[in-house]
Amino acid sequence: MVCYLSNSNINDKKNVVIDYNHYFDYTYMVVEVEELVFETIIINTQRRKRMKKYFEVNTKTIVATALGAALFTLLFMFVKVPSPIPETSFQTAYGLSAFFAMLFGPIAGGLIAFIGHGLSDALQYGSPWWSWVIASGVASFIFGFAFKTSKIEDGEFVLKDIIRFNIIQVVGNLVAWVVVAPVLDILIYAEPVNLVFTQGIIAAVMNIISAGVIGTLLLIAYSKTRVKKGSLNKND
């Protein structure tokens, strides 16, 4: 839109041109920016709320942590299969910690494995092997990021949920056993580099299988015990 105004103060009567298109373009751009900022604020708020749920600690979390740590300790001590690599075993306990982490979040998962592994070492060997105790906690803490990613409490644990859970547990195990455990073994105990990384890789593979098979089966079984949303009809 263009408007022509006559300027009476100018002798030659030049027309003064006001182009309103620039004004409307500027206004539209301002509105677009405001909408983008508003959407960003909403998204960030939703993310903060979601992250807060991951790390929320309540009575249920505390009870689950105590029960899970006790069960983890027993499984870690008595239900395991030794491997050919020294100081490594196939531990069924990581299937349990993955199960609890999925249901109760990273805090519960991390504490269950950390406390359970520490108690098991203390009871069997007199003192914990801290590098691996910490790695256990890290692995199960990461497992907990599968928390709130499915509708398992509504009786739904479908293929996409199984795949997502297993991607997360694989990442957790690789970080814990291929990075955290060997590095801490070297820093804390001055263990040989080749040995600790070999042990870490073997442990990662076995714990991925444990969490992937046992954890997945436990979660499928648990989902079957939950009533699917909308499956109950109100009786007249």
Q: Please indicate, yes or no, if residue 233 is contained in any of the structural domains.
A: no
pLDDT 10s digits, 24-34: 556 656 656 66
Shortest CA distance to 16 belongs to which of 30, 1, 8, 6? 6
Q: Please indicate, yes or no, if residue 12 is contained in any of the structural domains.
A: yes
Domain coverage including residue 36: 2-49
Residues 124, 193: one domain? yes
pLDDT 10s digits, 123-139: 999 999 999 999 999 99
101 has a pLDDT exceeding 70: yes
Residues 145, 169: one domain? yes
Residues 119, 218: one domain? yes
How many percent of the chain have pLDDT more than 70? Answer: 74
What local confidence, expressed as pLDDT, does residue 189 receive?
95
Kindly report whether the global pTM for this prediction surpasses the value 0.75: yes
211 has a pLDDT exceeding 50: yes
Q: Within 10 A of 123 (CB to CB), how many other CB atoms are there?
A: 12
Residues 125, 183: one domain? yes
Q: Please indicate, yes or no, if residue 235 is contained in any of the structural domains.
A: no
Shortest CA distance to 114 belongs to which of 176, 52, 196? 176
Residues 174, 79: one domain? yes
What local confidence, expressed as pLDDT, does residue 236 receive?
43
Residues 83, 164: one domain? yes
Residues 179, 91: one domain? yes
Q: Please indicate, yes or no, if residue 55 is contained in any of the structural domains.
A: no
pLDDT 10s digits, 160-190: 999 999 999 999 999 999 999 999 999 999 9
As for how many domains the chain has, the answer is: 2
Residues 108, 21: one domain? no
